[in-house]
Amino acid sequence: MALKIHRDPKKIALIGVPSSAGSHGPGAERAPAALRAAGLIARLEALGFEVTDHGDTPSFAYQPDEEHPRARNTRAVVEAMTALRLKAEAAVKSGALLLILGGDCAITPGTITAIRRYYRDAGVFWMDRDADLNTPQTTPSGCVHGMTVAHLTGRGAPEIVRFAAEMPMVRDPNVALFGLERMDPPEEQTLTASTIRAYHAPDILRRGPAASAREALERIHAGQIPFVLHYDVDVISAPDFTACGFPAEGTLTAAHIRDALAEVVAAPQLLAIELCEYFPERDADGSAARFLVGLFAEALAARLFALTQPKEAAQPEAQAQAREPAAASAAAASVGATAGAAAAIPSVGSASAAAGASPAPATAPEAESSAAPAPAAAAPEASSGPASAVAETPVSSDSPAPTEAPASAETPAAQEAASRGDSAETETVTAPSGDPNESPNE
């Protein structure tokens, strides 16, 4: 029996996952509360979204767990993923876009298994400076958040690899690692031997963030299958962002990430966003939290306008709307100076440092590997990007072609509606009610 899922671009389902069980220490479990306190819901509602707050899963704080040094706190990580899966399944069924507030990066299997409850395949756009491809055999720290991509793709701790009925949870060609700057040697070997799509920060800078993001979306088949955007806040280099576990100087600035996010969040097949690894204790004045709220409010406003209005007018008006500061957070969370300008998002590192909130980065024990690169010189992005593509493994021939057209804003009917100026507020997909092996009418 098929289940009709009516995906409504105006609906957002908010879920908090206050867990640092997979991290290197406590701190990230306080992020969901801090982001809500920064005005996230009010900001989204002001933009026209209908936000349903599903509350938080049970809290799990980091413990040293010396009994399991190769995969610390695995039991708590699995419990956190299970609680997330239950909430996320209901949210996916409602047709809303999931906005999941971590917590650490170990939570993603909970999101993916919820999506695969209704959809045959799923992809992951992993925006993070770390590859998170370690396993219990290769990890230098035992922290599970540095193994998440390995677990998703069928490598690593058996109790997490087997978390989903279907293994792997995500096929290698449907994963893009975007913003890479730190990898351990075993992770590099795994990446080289796989068909995972890798986008290193210097290559993104050379090609252009927007062009690189568009290519990555195409290569993980994001036009045909639903996908999750996983956002680790450390993808933005210091000093632009420092309220994270391992702040470090690097290549990608807040402006670069804003440009890439605009492309990813606008994709109609995006089903969930995970915002992870924000450390409120390193954000004494709350400016980093307000920055994150503004960053995602801008991208989500552009998505809403693009999916409900004629495409020709979507981008400028959505950006202008998102950059109107909310009354409660105007001073620190503005993401643009004027409605028509494409100004870069301001740095939050200096404000946090002035407040004494950002201590010197600790030595990274996990996928945050030994040497942080020196900052690369920023190159201006061309509108279409240079002719050369990012050097990586070509698209695998084992990637399945969809048997039916995706039921999204890219269908012929939606395109026709857009050309007429009609509003396409709801799309319908037919999904299997119980068996993820049955293909939805995607």
Q: Tokens 């695969």 correspond to what residue?
A: 116
Domain range holding 200? 2-356+392-432
pLDDT tens digits for range 376-435: 434 334 333 333 333 333 333 333 333 333 333 344 444 433 433 334 344 455 555 444
Task: Look at residue 380 and tell me if it is in a domain.
Answer: no
The answer to whether the beta carbons of residues 57 and 80 sit under 8 Å apart is yes
Task: Look at residue 343 and tell me if it is in a domain.
Answer: yes
Q: How confident is the model at residue 267 (pLDDT cuts 50, 70, 90)?
A: very high
As a whole number of angstroms, the distance between CA 200 and CA 387 comes to 17
Q: Tokens 């509108």 correspond to what residue?
A: 383
Task: Look at residue 386 and tell me if it is in a domain.
Answer: no
Q: Is the pLDDT of residue 192 over 60?
A: yes
Q: Quick one: pLDDT at residue 434?
A: 45
Q: Quick one: pLDDT at residue 358?
A: 38
* CB neighbours of residue 4 within 10 Å: 11
pTM of the model: 0.75
pLDDT tens digits for range 283-317: 999 999 999 999 999 999 999 999 998 655 545 55
Task: Look at residue 294 and tell me if it is in a domain.
Answer: yes
For residue 114, the domain's CATH number is: 3.40.800.10
Q: Is the pLDDT of residue 152 over 50?
A: yes
50: left (phi over 0), alpha (psi -120 to 50) or beta: beta
Task: Look at residue 143 and tell me if it is in a domain.
Answer: yes
pLDDT tens digits for range 313-358: 545 555 555 555 444 444 443 333 333 333 344 445 443 433 333 3
Task: Look at residue 211 and tell me if it is in a domain.
Answer: yes
421: left (phi over 0), alpha (psi -120 to 50) or beta: left
Kindly state the percentage of the chain with pLDDT values over 70: 69
Task: Look at residue 225 and tell me if it is in a domain.
Answer: yes
Domain count, the chain: 1
As a whole number of angstroms, the distance between CA 193 and CA 44 comes to 42
* Nearest residue to 257 (alpha-carbon basis) of 223, 219, 221, 208: 208
Task: Look at residue 442 and tell me if it is in a domain.
Answer: no
Contacts of 241 (CB under 8 A, 6+ apart): 233, 234, 247, 254, 288, 291, 347, 348, 349
Q: Quick one: pLDDT at residue 318?
A: 55
Q: How confident is the model at residue 4 (pLDDT cuts 50, 70, 90)?
A: confident
